[in-house]
Structure 1
Amino acid sequence: MSSPGTQVHHLDDVRILDLFAGPGGLDVAAHFLGFRSVGIEWDRNACETRYAAGLPTFHADVSVMRRTRFEEIPASVDILAGGPPCQSFSVAGNGAGRRALDRVEKFLHRLVDGEDETQIDKELHDLDDYRTALVLEPLRWLLKAIDAEERDPYRVIVLEQVPEVLPLWEVYARLLSSGEGRLKGIKYEADCWKLKTERFGVPQTRTRAILVARLAGDGSVEAPQATHLPFDLQRGRRTAVQPDTLPTDSEPQATALPWVSMGEALDAASRPENSPVDVSRLRTDGRMNFFVVSNYGSGGDPKNRGCRPSSEPSFTVTGKISRNRVYKSIADFEAKKFDRFTISESGVLQTFPHNYPWSGKDQAQQVGNAVPPLLGMHVLSKALRGTTPTQAELCAATTWPTVPSATTDLLRAHGCEDRSRCPTGSHDVTRSRGMSSL
């Protein structure tokens, strides 16, 4: 396995193109499985984290790059991956994407049928939230690759989104299996599922809609095999002052491991030498002992905050995780004496390595937007190799290799060049103290 970023200007061996790459969730997963990737990301802060981590990156808008810079993607890329922005589909958002599901489904069919894309783009701009249109981009990149004479179609497609997008992934699967229209007879074996992250060793409850497609003839598509028990919530009112009403796990299954708790994950991340994760403040008598009150309301009532102890998985890690309150005791709760998770700790709850080099601004948002790398490892390994990750790969995935500053500088130069092709206005900000210039 080569170190990230060691071949900055030599992308010929890159296999994976990661659309909407964020700070690197899928790229981190790919690295530990031995696959090289290149990402496209419009947010300059997420790019800064990627550069620091040694991940090849185009600081660009996915749609613009498809239209004007498609030829810059290495010809060696044969795997298309990505998680389009979820805000318009998420139940935590404004619901514009959920309301537009039927319209988006029609756009998918129209793209495959070969309708004029200029007209389609014009209609997409009329959506209540234009981010909804980005869920079409993976299909548009696939069709672009099929139309390009000098390229082969992607052999594998892996997509991730919030569970509300599953109906669209089902449409994707049917279209990819049809070989009709602009697919030009190219057919895929495709399937999609809702996967619970805690069932793959991620110390948080988070459900994702996953689509995997493989070129017909390259083998059947099967769901990744869960390795851990599910965490079944007991519905009902739960507050920080009622720890006895907190959720418990479901009936144990003999073949699965227990889900991983916040306390276990943070304790393990604190043990490597020079780890930025220091959880001494969360220990009582040498043991992890805390509970977390979520920033999000329960059942639509912002006054009814959820609560979980350190012996259970975290709530879904979102961009607001830095607002969650961490208490060591009921007395601290009553005295309003609380702590916060650090960025490194938040990253660990997402299964990023303990020493992942979070950089730039809006780091909590970067953490929350990312695909949990451990889930990514299970999905990619099953999609690309038909197997689960090896124990050696999973053990290695807890520590990120050191990336020389010279490599980071080269990646930044490659990703942003003279900034003229970066997203409009993305560099027009005042540099804050302690932040590297892009």
Structure 2
Amino acid sequence: MSPEYYSIAEVADILSVSKETLRRWDNNGTLIPQRHPINNYRVYHKSQLEHFEQAQVLFNSNWDNEISIKPNRNYRLLELFAGAGGLALGLEKAGFESVFLNEFDKHACNTLRTNRPNWNVVEGDVADIDFTPYKNKIDILSGGFPCQAFSYAGKKLGFEDTRGTLFFEFARAVKETNPKVIVAENVRGLLNHEDGKTLSAIKNVIDELGYELIEPRVLKAVFYQVPQKRERLFLVGIRKDLTGDAKFTWPSPFTRILTLKDALKKGVLYSTDVPDSIGQSYPKRKKEILALVPQGGYWRDLPDDIQREYMQKSYFLGGGKTGMARRLSWDEPSLTLTCAPAQKQTERCHPEETRPLTVREYARIQTFPDDWSFSGSITAQYKQIGNAVPVNLAYAVGRALIDLLNQLDKSFSADLDDLPVTRQESQLMLC
């Protein structure tokens, strides 16, 4: 689509509404699409969208300036719950040096070591690690701690009250290392988990540890050069003794919404079409049924008798269940990738061929480079990719963090000592 015209799917993504909502707006006169002057498709002109705040952010993006942000010096990163490296790779691309990465899953650790032999990957339970050798020797501590339930009974939920959860281990690492900045990412659901009490407890602990928390924000990967409708909640904290005049600014969006075609075909993201790789396949009957689903369609696009056969009892339940029997579209971003592309509740069928997405297709949608290999069984590889932070989303956040640290360095003289811990010594940190 030209820069002046936007498809219905693009506008739905830009405004964060459903296509059904756009159809209602069309019917009631709120926002009526027009015909494209060349191909006669129903589209929206840029001028129709300019009064929407979400569209203004996109149209007035500072992306081109932010892409040039570079570190003033070598900023050191310690990461927990590193997974297959999506967050670490994006932060590396922004200019960070990863000096310590912890991950429990053996396949993910092998992935990290295979692709970055120079990275200090420490495999094991985070609860068994002593982080004090890194005290005052890192600039940033990052990680996507899994969200576990806290016990709220009569508690204000300070640092000690979160003991036994993985967030406690994240907070303990912060306490033991004293980084300038902390960044954590999590699922959008954390915002409303336990009616907001979980996030409130996390905020209390971050404050107790001596960090000023930027108001958490849900970032939509589709705005950051990621061809996928994935959302992640980010929390950024600055050590209170350093805040001064430094200001953290969330990254600006890319200038357009990328699609599945951008992920799998040669273009703005990749210099070649997606390479061949291993992938799962459908059982015979399931393949026959999915072959009937049009591009961009799902189970409601099947004949009624086939709907009943495929959906079984779910046919009679409420809700759209739009992930079931879902075939992706070339001209839209992918739905959020899960850990299993052939799972019935969350189908991710190729737009043309009747099969699940392959491992490399999965990786491209998460914006991993083609030379980033994944270890373990095919199930383990899908799981690592499905759980990852999209690399380009991490890259965008990383540039914003670099800008923040550059500001902090201008306001305060750097006082980090040379990092004394060798890889061999770090293994001794495990009990």
TM bin, normalised by shorter chain, reads 0.5 to 0.7
Q: Secondary structure at the match of 2:266?
A: helix
Question: Are the counterparts in 2 of residues 197 and 207 from structure 1 also a CA contact under 8 Å?
Answer: yes
**1:227 is the counterpart of 2:257:** no
Amino acid in structure 2 at the alignment position of 1:310: W
Residue in 1 aligned with 2:115? Answer: 53
Change (3 A) 1:386 1:277: farther
**1:83 is the counterpart of 2:107:** no
Residue in 2 aligned with 1:142? Answer: 174
Change (3 A) 1:106 1:142: farther
Question: Are the counterparts in 2 of residues 45 and 359 from structure 1 also a CA contact under 8 Å?
Answer: yes
CA deviation map 1:211-245 (0-9, x unaligned):
001123334554523414xxxxxxxxxxxxxxxxx
Distance 2:88 2:188 in 1: 22
Residue in 1 aligned with 2:101? Answer: 39
Distance 2:354 2:404 in 1: 45
Amino acid in structure 2 at the alignment position of 1:356: W
Change (3 A) 1:325 1:29: closer
Distance 2:94 2:298 in 1: 35
2:329 to 282, 295, 309: 309
Query: Once superposed, which parts of structure 1, at least 4 consecutive aligned residues long, lie more than 6 Å away?
Result: 294-298, 415-418
**1:268 is the counterpart of 2:286:** no
Equivalent residues, number: 297
**Alignment root-mean-square deviation, CA:** 4.0
Question: Are the counterparts in 1 of residues 138 and 180 from structure 2 also a CA contact under 8 Å?
Answer: no
Q: Secondary structure at the match of 1:165?
A: helix
CA deviation map 1:249-307 (0-9, x unaligned):
xxxxxxxx3311011121137964696358xxxxxxxxxx9558699999485994444
Question: Are the counterparts in 2 of residues 223 and 382 from structure 1 also a CA contact under 8 Å?
Answer: yes
Distance 2:220 2:204 in 1: 23
Change (3 A) 1:34 1:299: same
Change (3 A) 1:61 1:263: same
Question: Are the counterparts in 1 of residues 263 and 270 from structure 2 also a CA contact under 8 Å?
Answer: no
Question: Are the counterparts in 1 of residues 328 and 349 from structure 2 also a CA contact under 8 Å?
Answer: no
Residue in 1 aligned with 2:180? Answer: 155
CA deviation map 1:18-77 (0-9, x unaligned):
110001011101211121112100100001110111132101111111xxx324548632
Question: Are the counterparts in 2 of residues 325 and 338 from structure 1 also a CA contact under 8 Å?
Answer: no
Larger Rg: 2
Distance 1:61 1:222 in 2: 32
Q: TM-score, normalised by structure 1?
A: 0.58
Amino acid in structure 2 at the alignment position of 1:191: E
Q: Secondary structure at the match of 1:365?
A: helix
Q: Secondary structure at the match of 1:311?
A: coil
Residue in 2 aligned with 1:366? Answer: 384
Amino acid in structure 1 at the alignment position of 2:263: A
Q: TM-score, normalised by structure 2?
A: 0.59
For residues 305-344 of structure 1, the aligned pairs below 5 Å read: 305-321=325-341, 323=343, 324-327=347-350, 338-344=354-360
CA deviation map 1:77-102 (0-9, x unaligned):
2211000125xxxxxxxxxx4xx466
State the Cα distance separating 1:417 from its structure 2 match.
Answer: 6.8
Q: Secondary structure at the match of 1:224?
A: coil
Change (3 A) 1:198 1:139: same
Distance 1:266 1:274 in 2: 6
State the Cα distance separating 1:372 from its structure 2 match.
Answer: 0.9
State the Cα distance separating 1:176 from its structure 2 match.
Answer: 3.4
State the Cα distance separating 1:360 from its structure 2 match.
Answer: 2.2
Distance 1:325 1:164 in 2: 22
Amino acid in structure 2 at the alignment position of 1:23: A
Question: Are the counterparts in 1 of residues 213 and 235 from structure 2 also a CA contact under 8 Å?
Answer: no
Distance 1:376 1:105 in 2: 37
Distance 2:200 2:112 in 1: 31
For residues 28-427 of structure 1, the aligned pairs below 5 Å read: 28-37=89-98, 38-54=100-116, 55-65=119-129, 69-71=130-132, 73=134, 76-86=137-147, 97=148, 100=149, 103=152, 106=155, 108-109=157-158, 111=159, 115=160, 121=163, 124=164, 133-145=165-177, 153-166=178-191, 167=196, 168-177=198-207, 180=208, 183=209, 186-216=210-240, 217-218=242-243, 219-228=245-254, 257-268=255-266, 272=271, 276=275, 291=296, 299=319, 301=321, 304-321=324-341, 323=343, 324-327=347-350, 338-361=354-377, 362-386=380-404
Amino acid in structure 2 at the alignment position of 1:373: V
Change (3 A) 1:105 1:272: farther
State the Cα distance separating 1:325 from its structure 2 match.
Answer: 4.9
Structure 2: stretches of 5+ with no match in the other structure: 1-73, 278-293, 300-309, 407-421
Question: Are the counterparts in 2 of residues 80 and 156 from structure 1 also a CA contact under 8 Å?
Answer: yes
Amino acid in structure 1 at the alignment position of 2:202: Y
Distance 1:259 1:355 in 2: 25
Q: Aligned residues: percent identity?
A: 27
Q: Secondary structure at the match of 1:352?
A: coil
